[in-house]
Copies of this chain bind each other. A is one copy, B any other.
Amino acid sequence: MTAYRTLDPEGVKRFLAARRELAERLGGEAQDWTVREVSDGNLNLVFLVFGTTGRLCVKQSLPHVRVDPDWKMPLDRTAFEAAWLRRIEPLVPGLTPAFLDFDPEQFVLTMECLDGFVTLREALTNGADPIAPSRILGGFVARSAFLTSYLAQPFEAVTPDLAFFSGNTTLTRITVDLVLTDPYREHPRNHWLPALDADVAAMRSDPQIIARIGALQERFLTTPQALLHGDLHSGSIMIADHDVRVIDGEFSLYGPIGFDCGLYLAHLALAHAATTDAPRKESLAAAIKAFWRTFCVDFLHLWKTQAHGADLYVPTTFSNALHELDALRTRFINGVFHDAVGFAAAEIVRRLIGYAQTSDFDHIQGQQSKADRQRVALSFACALLRDAPADIDAFTEMLHPQANLRITTLPETT
């Protein structure tokens, strides 16, 4: 047992050289290997390692937030990411990096190298097709959620994972605070463009919005429907050609399925607000619909074909109520949609005015233009929180700024 030490490129080589199976994958000797640090999140070190015959990705937890070394972080989150990856990989073959190794003393996760991939966020900013990956991600969420849920198996198969992932309190605390609480109150971690002052004040004094956020806090903490990714934004997704991979499962926990759906929808909506190009907007709106429809179709198909032995909606009790079973399935999906709408809104809000913002608006020239685009996104989010759309078509209709005039005009006219 060795004490935890933060890795540097030489340390990465020593770490891998000491692990025969990983070293053999790289090929050659340690001095032949190239290490490239690609850390860009706030919580981890990430290295890509290139050998003579293979390559690897090495990820290690940092003991503090990168930009704020006083904000200490327990190291165990890589353990949750490793557990998530091992649990999810067989359920969604080809849609995650391959798990290779986890070292619980150095909190080092070694996995397939996704060199040549870029984040979906970067790809979207550069004009990549949003529809094809969104369809794939709809299927990813459907499979990973359904197959880890109570709908797919006896409850005894769920509770050990529920118990384990409920220990992931460090990163769940971040979601509870930074996504679902702080943006709706004064907090030094919040920040936004001064031009949005009135919008933020109006949002915080809107009782409907505050009530909806309260209800979402309850849904997030007390609805363990399935094992969630927990941070499914466009920076947690890597793409290359037609290959899509979901990474960074360190926020994983049992929660409402709509949380994963909502985060993904939020980031398509942010990209939509950040562009002024009409065909591009149409394409992002189509991607939103493609994600949701694929999720629904795949989730329902799994439910109808792979629910053997589950304790919910037990088929042997429903022989005289097949129509009602269909209705219950629709109600379940509608419930996921309602959650998704709320969590999408909360994610958009926090990416505009909370601690960890998004780069989607970085390319916009001029503070005023940037604030205008951000106000469109914030108004959309506030409208979602005030009056939830009934379906995905209504959701995309609300992407048009004129649909959500109230929040953009209210603070300026009163």
Contact = CB atoms under 8 A, between A and B. Distances in A.
Interface stretch (A1-9, A115-123, A308-316, A357-365): A308-316
A211 B327 contact: yes
A169 B159 contact: yes
B207 A324 contact: yes
A277 interface: no
Interface in A104-150: 150
A305 interface: no
A327 B215 CA distance: 11
Contacts of A210: 317-318, 320-321, 324
Contact of A205 (B159, B204, B320, B323): B320
A314 B155 contact: no
A184 interface: yes
B163 A167 contact: yes
Given A155-B172, A225-B222, A312-B217, A204 B320 contact: yes
A404 to B, nearest CB: 20
Given A181-B317, A320-B210, A328-B214, A223 B223 contact: yes
Contact of A176 (B155, B222, B321): B155
Interface in A207-232: 207-208, 210-211, 213-215, 217-218, 221-225
A7 to B, nearest CB: 29
A44 B258 CA distance: 43
Nearest to A223: B222
A156 interface: yes
A166 interface: yes
26 contacts: A155-B169, A155-B172, A156-B169, A156-B173, A159-B167, A162-B166, A163-B163, A176-B311, A185-B317, A186-B316, A205-B320, A207-B320, A207-B321, A207-B324, A211-B324, A211-B327, A211-B328, A214-B312, A214-B314, A214-B328, A215-B328, A217-B311, A217-B312, A218-B313, A221-B312, A222-B223
Given A155-B172, A155-B176, 18 more contacts: A150-B218, A150-B222, A155-B221, A159-B167, A205-B320, A206-B320, A206-B321, A208-B324, A210-B318, A210-B324, A213-B317, A214-B313, A214-B318, A217-B311, A217-B313, A218-B332, A221-B311, A223-B223
Listed from nearest, the 5 A-B pairs whose CB atoms lie closest are A207-B321, A163-B163, A211-B324, A210-B321, A184-B317
Interface of A: 150, 155-156, 159, 162-164, 166-167, 169, 172-173, 176, 180-181, 184-186, 204-208, 210-211, 213-215, 217-218, 221-225, 311-314, 316-321, 323-325, 327-328, 332
